[in-house]
Structure 1
Amino acid sequence: MGWQEQYRTCICTPEEAVSHIKDGDVVFLGHAVGEPKVLVDAMVANAESYHGVIIKHMVSLGSGAYAAPDLKEHFTASPIFASANVRAAIEEGMADFIPMFFHEVPIMIRKGKLKCDVLMTQVTPPDQNGYCSLGTSVDYTFQALKSAGTVIVQMNDQLPRTFGEKVHISELDYIVEASVPLYESKPAVIGETEMAIGKHCVSLIEDQSTLQLGIGGIPDAVVQMLGDRKDLGIHSEMIADGTIQLYEKGVITGRYKTENKWKMTVTFLMGTKKLYDFAHNNPEVEVRPVDYVNHPAVVMRQHRMVAINSAIQTDLMGQIVADTIGKRQFSGVGGQVDFVRGAAMAEDGKSIIAMPSFTQKRDGRILSKIVPFIDEGAAVTTSRNDIDYIITENGVAEMKGKTLRERAKNLIQIAHESVKEELRYEFERRFHEKPFSMRK
């Protein structure tokens, strides 16, 4: 049978496709923009037909309707990243969170430690040889497709065809053709705080560096200030719209990358239609599995690797909390530790935790992100042994190779003014001396 005939025999309606999910199945959803909305909606609409189906995913941009309390007999969400749509279910004990480094997810699927009975994801229409692209999300999705007993895809002609990995029609079981707009993440608002943090980050980035950048105001501010750098490369968990500006200016070339020279190497894309159009059929953008892109042993081989990540909180030792708020699971570790460790092992590598020194509550209260002790119940995302630089709008605190006393002094220097006295008091209590700024 030729691939065209295979294709025709796999086409079905959303309702027919999800009817092949069985009681007790573990269903993996495509990651982020790869989440197949039409299929998820059909599955939720068919909830009465299931009992004990487990839903796994990392970043989810959909409604998360399967996590609703009235569907608890039919579905249990078991995410590896606590997106907004499942946080309440986790807090209320109706969903089960799995802590895991991003690069390990496909490895655990391959080993069978993360069961995957069914994969539901998006793919592009086939090319002339019967090969589809996973488009925006290769990450763990590629391995899930190889491991799943049943593969159900939403074939979307609005998904960009990206280079890196291919999927043949013969690997798909059920195909639902659905031309629907992709999920988009609008560019963040960049204020004075983000610009100040970005300026400090840029001071550590040399020409010919290879960058890992995320999404949000701080990465976008960093990108805006790199226009005078030369021959930067991208080896990153993801890229967003801001990267396009640097590419178009000729700042990003990949000339000095050790691996995948001349390419922007990522494991998923998340931004606006502008980004997806940029990546479509662009041989300079490679979207590859996360157990390659994020693996610290791969990251460490990149030339002048610079990793920039964020945090919710740090204590005076430099312990980083990035995925919990107290006992509340807020997100997930994602690729932070993957890149922090990879950059630390790289020749001339640097890892940066960049965050505002404070967050302001709706009632006007200022909460410092630099604290004497992390909140009760909070999980340490990145250990004090891994931390290199911590940056706020107030400056750069160097951590690597520093004593606990030196770390605390450096962090007090970049803390918000409203908490410096509290931090100095804790410093004196802990180290039996006043910080240098208090000495007469």
Structure 2
Amino acid sequence: MSYKDKLISVEEALNLVKSNDMIVTGLGSAEAQLFMNKLHTIAHKVENVTVTNCLPMSNGEFLKAEYRKSFNVDGWFYSPVLRKAHLNGNVSFIPNHLHLAGIKRLNHVKPNIYVGSASMPDKHGYISLSLSNTYERRMIEEADIVILEINPNYPRTFGDVEIHYKDADYLVEADYEVPVLPDAVPSDKDMIIGKFIEENIKNGDCIQLGIGGIPNAVAASLKDKKDLGIHTEMMTSGMVELVKLGVITGKRKTLHKGKIVCTFALGNNELYEFLDDNPSVLVMDGNYVNDPYVIAENDNMVSINTTIEIDLTGQCCSESIGPTQFSGTGGQADTAIGAQKAKNGRSFIALYSTAMVKNKATGVKEEISKIVPMLKQGAVVSLSRNDVDFVVTEYGVAALRGTNIKERVERLIAIAHPKFREELRREAHEIGLIYDK
């Protein structure tokens, strides 16, 4: 079939959906915006359609409670829209490590429809999946029907994201702007934490950064480094600035020398402009990029992630508030374990020492410690204590590699907020983590 023969409207694409279908869409900005924002218009015609997504950026009407008999949502990673929709009772989280998310899902169910965004075809007829290949290409190869929203605003990227337009069943021409993730402006605490981490990063290291103010502060603190490399699940806006400053060159990388390797990109328009037609960036299969053994092939690998809460033995809850799902495991365990397997590798978990939380009894916000004797009841352990290396707050760095429980308790209390240290020590005694001689 010719290119023109494959073109359909979004309404025609929606008419392909049947009751009980399994639909998969792309991660973050790779989500099919036209399709998802109009999915609710067929609610009266279908039942029990399941949409599987990851960090969705659209605020589709189909997520509303009134459509819950028509649509279910299974999410690999919650964004604010999924956290809100979760209360409707038709949204459920898929526990996963990012590098296995697509593979394990396919072991369970096969998609009837894959629908995602992509760049326009080049002169040879090849389309780039553009901003994510975390699981997208694998789903395309397994789906009964493949629908791509091709968009001139999406960057043409390289790696293993290229497919020929003939490999799609249908094409929908779109012209919406690429969804952006606003830059989180680092706070004073972020900058202090960023500086602590920067002091442990050496020239020539290969780094991975996550999402948020702390990773942005780390990026901002690295401007005087030389010849850093990037092997990361997420390509961020802060990395682009470091490339332009000559900090990131990849010259000392031991895997994909001179190349930036990622599995998806999410950030500002400057990031998307940088990615367009740029062969120095490889957007590759998430099963490859985030495989701990692949990560470990990068000598001097440094993983930098954040957590919500950590107990005094080192268990990290990075994705839930008690039993309530907040985000997802993502690649935290992948990258933390992979970095420590690497020659001279290091892994950092960063968090503020405290948070302001509303007291359920009084309704008043109060300051609590994020370093705790025990995680909240029902909290999800995203990174086991066996896999924690360095922990950083605005009060310092705790090196936990190879330490016993008593040493961990002492080191984590030392980087807790001073007002909570005595209480933490007392509670550690009460629950038997440490004893007086």
Q: Partner letter of residue 132 of structure 1?
A: I
The yes-or-no answer on 1:152 pairing with 2:147 is: yes
Q: Partner letter of residue 415 of structure 2?
A: I
- Return structure 1 stretches of 4+ with deviation > 4 angstroms: none
Q: Distance in 2 between matches of 1:93 and 1:46?
A: 20
Structure 2: which 5+ runs fail to align? 359-363
- Higher mean C-alpha deviation, range 327-336 or range 99-108: 99-108
Pairwise CA distance, 1:91 = 4.2
From 179, 198, 207, the counterpart of 2:175: 179
Alignment correspondent of 2:184: 188
Is the 2:65–2:88 Cα contact (8 Å) retained in structure 1? no
The 5 Å alignment of 1:340-419 reads 340-361=336-357, 363-419=364-420
The yes-or-no answer on 1:293 pairing with 2:294 is: no
Pairwise CA distance, 1:22 = 1.4
CA RMSD in angstroms comes to: 1.4
Over residues 156-200 of structure 1, what are the superposed CA-to-partner deviations in whole Å (9 max), with x where a residue is unaligned? 110000011201111111111011101111111211100110011
Q: Distance in 2 between matches of 1:65 and 1:307?
A: 37
From 62, 65, 73, the counterpart of 2:61: 65
Q: Distance in 1 between matches of 2:19 and 2:107?
A: 19
Alignment correspondent of 1:138: 133
Q: Distance in 1 between matches of 2:180 and 2:287?
A: 25
User: SS of the counterpart of 1:46?
Assistant: helix
Q: Distance in 2 between matches of 1:44 and 1:182?
A: 22
Is the 2:28–2:54 Cα contact (8 Å) retained in structure 1? yes
User: SS of the counterpart of 1:421?
Assistant: helix
Pairwise CA distance, 1:64 = 4.0
Alignment correspondent of 1:276: 272
TM-score (norm 2): 0.96
Is the 2:38–2:60 Cα contact (8 Å) retained in structure 1? no
- Higher mean C-alpha deviation, range 83-92 or range 391-400: 83-92
Alignment correspondent of 1:303: 299
Alignment correspondent of 1:236: 232
User: SS of the counterpart of 1:96?
Assistant: strand
Q: Partner letter of residue 426 of structure 1?
A: E
The yes-or-no answer on 1:102 pairing with 2:98 is: yes
Q: Distance in 1 between matches of 2:421 and 2:111?
A: 49
Over residues 109-161 of structure 1, what are the superposed CA-to-partner deviations in whole Å (9 max), with x where a residue is unaligned? 5x532421111100111111110001111111111111111111111110000
Over residues 301-335 of structure 1, what are the superposed CA-to-partner deviations in whole Å (9 max), with x where a residue is unaligned? 11200000000000000000001100101111000
Alignment correspondent of 1:42: 38
From 419, 432, 436, the counterpart of 2:435: 432
The 5 Å alignment of 1:199-238 reads 199-238=195-234
Q: Partner letter of residue 201 of structure 2?
A: I
Is the 2:68–2:88 Cα contact (8 Å) retained in structure 1? no
TM-score (norm 1): 0.95
Pairwise CA distance, 1:251 = 1.0
The 5 Å alignment of 1:331-342 reads 331-342=327-338
Percentage of pairs with the same residue: 37
Over residues 319-372 of structure 1, what are the superposed CA-to-partner deviations in whole Å (9 max), with x where a residue is unaligned? 000011001011110000000110111111101101111112474411211011
Is the 1:235–1:265 Cα contact (8 Å) retained in structure 2? yes
| Larger strand share, 1 or 2 | 2
Q: Partner letter of residue 411 of structure 1?
A: L
Alignment correspondent of 1:438: none
Is the 2:25–2:31 Cα contact (8 Å) retained in structure 1? yes
Structure 1: which 5+ runs fail to align? 435-440
Is the 1:82–1:332 Cα contact (8 Å) retained in structure 2? yes
Distance 1:114 1:323, change over 3 A: farther
User: SS of the counterpart of 1:333?
Assistant: coil
Over residues 203-232 of structure 1, what are the superposed CA-to-partner deviations in whole Å (9 max), with x where a residue is unaligned? 111111100012211111111111221110
Over residues 256-279 of structure 1, what are the superposed CA-to-partner deviations in whole Å (9 max), with x where a residue is unaligned? 111111011001110011100011
Q: Distance in 1 between matches of 2:60 and 2:289?
A: 28
Is the 1:215–1:239 Cα contact (8 Å) retained in structure 2? no
Is the 1:15–1:43 Cα contact (8 Å) retained in structure 2? no
Is the 2:38–2:61 Cα contact (8 Å) retained in structure 1? no
Q: Distance in 2 between matches of 1:328 and 1:91?
A: 10
